[in-house]
């Protein structure tokens, strides 16, 4: 609730967007729209190349969940034989990048701009997130990785309670690190009147074509994370068992891995996997998002 100039209580914008039965009754464009184009350009008129056009409404939490779930159906995966004789699968866009960009768009848009909605455009070589409003306060493209300012703090706090926002201000930096680890250029920003456009490049084709240097870089990064975790255990005067190190390695390779998959690879029961994870939770591992649909993050 907020208080107006007359001292009267009134329902806040955040309250309607977060808890309203149908927020679009008051904010018709308070929604998220996904548009998929065929090709690398947006065409209109007789040459229109839109092949999918889907809109998500409801509360912000409803939109976040539905948009992420739908985008996952549109992301392609490519499997090839890697340099160590094992099959490697790469996605066009990492899962965390998809989740973080959707959350950012819904969390930080300017809801006082009522003439348009959030638009997510998928082209053959990129994803473009268009959100009403400029970058807030002192945030600029040059410092966005390490500078945080919340335009809608109540919405951000609400999404944090549902683990979609884990630590304020760390998401964009991790998005960039995920893209860099895949050999992909970082995000690019463009302000078109009052619309902020953030472009996420598709994972480069050279990775799919077995680029050895990039593959080695990813493996090296994974090994560095493992070494940091082991160093942390030593500092805490703890010893990580072989099973726990195996669990950490598998989670680094696939943050979305299930307990049944961990059980299969490590060679112990799911109950044992659960006990080991609980012993490492909040020391070396943290859960981001719900049990179903969330992922694991390594605490270095």
Domain definitions of the chain by residue range: 10-207, 211-298
Say what percent of the chain tops pLDDT 90: 36
Residues 6+ apart with CB under 8 A from 160: 166, 168
* Residue 145 pLDDT greater than 70, yes or no: yes
* Residue 134 pLDDT greater than 80, yes or no: yes
Read off the tokens for 97: 């990048």
* Residue 214 pLDDT greater than 70, yes or no: no
Query: How many other CB atoms sit within 10 Å of the CB of residue 273?
Result: 21
Residue 91 binned pLDDT confidence (cut-offs 50, 70, 90): confident
Pairwise CA distance, residues 267 & 247, whole Å: 11
The whole-model pTM stands at: 0.65
pLDDT at residue number 156: 86
- Count Cβ neighbours within 10 Å for each residue of 28-58 and write b for 16 or more, e otherwise: eebbbbbbbbeeeeeeeeeeeeeeeeeebbb
Average pLDDT across the chain, whole number: 83
Which is more confidently placed, 296 or 50? Answer: 50
Q: What CA–CA distances, in Å, run from 254 to 89, 152, 295?
A: 10, 32, 9
Architecture per CATH, 211-298: Orthogonal Bundle (1.10)
Pairwise CA distance, residues 142 & 117, whole Å: 26
* Average pLDDT value for residue range 269-289: 89
Q: How many residues does the chain have?
A: 300
1-5, 63-67, 215-219, range with the lowest pLDDT: 215-219
Residues 6+ apart with CB under 8 A from 184: 201, 202, 203, 204
* Average pLDDT value for residue range 140-147: 78
Residue 253 binned pLDDT confidence (cut-offs 50, 70, 90): confident
pLDDT at residue number 16: 93
Phi, psi of 88, deg, nearest 5: -120, 135
Residue 209 binned pLDDT confidence (cut-offs 50, 70, 90): very low
* Residue 204 pLDDT greater than 90, yes or no: no
User: DSSP characters for 114-139?
Assistant: -S--EEEEEETTEEEEEEES---TT-
**DSSP 8-state class, residue 202:** P
H or E element in which residue 19 lies? helix 13-19
Q: Does residue 161 sit in helix, strand or coil?
A: helix
E strand intervals along 143-220: 188-192, 195-201
Fold adopted by 10-207: Heat Shock Protein 90 (3.30.565)
Q: Which of 89, 21, 31, 35 is nearest to 64 (CA)?
A: 31
């Amino acid at each position: 609730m907020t208080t107006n100039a007359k001292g009267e209580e009134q329902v806040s914008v955040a309250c309607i967007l977060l808890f309203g039965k149908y927020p679009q009754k008051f904010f018709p464009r308070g929604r998220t729209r996904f548009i998929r184009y065929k090709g690398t350009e947006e065409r209109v008129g007789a040459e229109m190349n839109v092949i999918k056009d889907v809109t998500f409404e409801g509360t912000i939490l409803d939109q976040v969940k539905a948009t992420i779930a739908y985008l996952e159906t549109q992301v392609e995966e490519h499997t090839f034989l890697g340099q160590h004789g094992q099959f490697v699968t790469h996605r066009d866009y990492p899962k965390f990048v998809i989740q973080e960009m959707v959350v950012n768009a819904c969390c930080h848009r300017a809801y006082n701009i009522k003439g348009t909605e959030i638009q997510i455009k998928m082209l053959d070589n990129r994803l473009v997130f268009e959100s009403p409003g400029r970058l807030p306060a002192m945030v600029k493209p040059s410092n966005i990785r390490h500078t945080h300012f919340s335009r809608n703090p109540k919405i951000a706090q609400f999404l944090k309670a549902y683990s979609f926002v884990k630590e304020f201000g760390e998401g964009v930096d991790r998005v960039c690190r995920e893209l860099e680890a895949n050999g992909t250029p970082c995000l690019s920003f463009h302000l078109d009147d009052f619309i902020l456009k953030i472009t996420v490049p598709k994972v480069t084709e050279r990775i799919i074509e077995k680029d050895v240097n990039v593959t080695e870089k990813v493996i090296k990064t994974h090994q560095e994370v493992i070494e940091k975790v082991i160093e942390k255990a030593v500092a805490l005067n703890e010893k990580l068992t072989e099973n726990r190190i195996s669990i950490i390695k598998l989670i680094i390779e696939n943050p979305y891995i299930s307990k049944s998959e961990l059980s299969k690879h490590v060679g112990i029961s799911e109950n044992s996997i659960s006990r080991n994870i609980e012993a490492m939770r909040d020391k070396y591992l943290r859960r981001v998002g719900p049990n179903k649909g969330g992922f694991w993050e390594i605490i270095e």
